[in-house]
Structure 1
């Protein structure tokens, strides 16, 4: 089965929006897992200092 990397960088100054939707986003990913979409790895990208989430990386 092929694997796909999804690399997404957030627009500047959108951390508040990301945090507002974070729980809903995680719930959706769990629903997809039970529907057969296998997520190998997922997590936020961070700024160089590790202080701010600024994107996502998923391996599906």
Structure 2
């Protein structure tokens, strides 16, 4: 697959932005971990109270 000039420019800009503001990265990770923990709890609760059938669930 060939990468276009605009895709390379966009990627270069994103890398430069991340390099220039590393302090934002931990905050973004913390926010994502918080979201995933909340989502995990919602799924556990749904399974426990029978809103989802875990016997038919399959690993991906």
TM-score w.r.t. length of structure 1: 0.35
More helix by share: 2
More strand by share: 1
Q: Give the number of the structure with larger relative contact order, counting CA–CA contacts within 8 Å between residues 6 or more apart.
A: 1
| Structure having the higher Rg | 2
The TM-score normalised by the length of structure 2 is 0.35
